[in-house]
Amino acid sequence: MGTFLYNSSIGKKLVMSVTGIFLVLFILFHMSMNLVAVISPEGYNMICELLGANWYALVGTLVLAAGVVIHFLYAIMLTLQNLAARGKERYAVTAKEQGVSWASKNMFVLGTIVLLGLCLHLLNFWSKMQLVEIMGQETNSLGFGPADGAALIRYTFSQWYYVVVYLIWFAALWFHLTHGVWSMFQSLGWGNKTWYPRLKSIACIVATIVFLCFALVVVFYFIQSLCGGACNL
């Protein structure tokens, strides 16, 4: 079984699909949690405190990190395998393939942008929240408590360059999900003629909801910073 998952193209795609489903579910959870910060900063901080350095949160963090690493490593293996299989044909100038989206042909690049954005996000938030609590400190480098996520969001997105970078990150995630969500189900055998167009529509809907909800939090807090904190829903 291990050899199949590592050496077989189908096995690699299966691993990509399973880890992809897991990561999409986490994204939807994280998106829902972030929306609470717009509705109730106090409620958001309660969630942050619940998901601090508790054992279940630490286990969840390790599982998530493993999912990201496995997904990216298998993406590298599949990309190298595809390049080797295509050989010199990849340098030839050919007509645009019918039915092939731009996102599907640039999944590795989009995934790399998403991964780099995740690294920035970990630096801006995880290192100033859960990591601070793990180290037993009462405040982070900005002077906020490790469970004061609302203050950290407010500070981060009061700076225009973070707003721009995060929106670019979300846009890359949108493109990645529009192809990734339906292709992972196709790899699991759901890609028949009936479900293929449905899965593509579902993928677009999911990706758009994720983009809009994450962007809402960023833009809301940026506008709030311009209003001096006086703007509300």
Q: Which residue ranges make up each domain of the chain?
A: 14-88+102-226
pLDDT by residue for the chain (233 residues), tens digit each? Answer: 556 566 677 778 888 888 988 999 999 999 999 999 999 999 999 999 998 888 888 999 999 999 999 998 988 888 888 777 765 444 343 334 444 567 777 788 888 999 999 999 999 999 999 999 999 999 999 999 999 999 999 999 999 999 999 999 999 999 999 988 888 877 777 666 777 788 888 889 999 999 999 999 999 999 999 987 656 65
CATH topology of domain 14-88+102-226: 3 helical TM bundles of succinate and fumarate reductases (1.20.1300)
The pLDDT assigned to 232 comes to: 60
Count other C-beta atoms under 10 Å from residue 107's C-beta: 19
pLDDT of 180: 82
- pLDDT value, residue 89: 47
Beta carbons within 8 Å of 54's beta carbon, 6+ residues apart: none
Torsion of CA 178, 33, 21, 194, to 10 degrees: -50
d(CA 63, CA 202): 26
Whole-structure pTM value:
0.86
Q: Name residues whose C-beta falls within 8 Å of residue 165's C-beta, 6 or more positions apart in sequence.
A: 117, 120
d(Cα 129, Cα 147) in Å, to the nearest integer? 6
pLDDT at 8: 72
Cβ-proximal residues to 72 (8 Å cutoff; 6+ apart), any chain:
111, 115
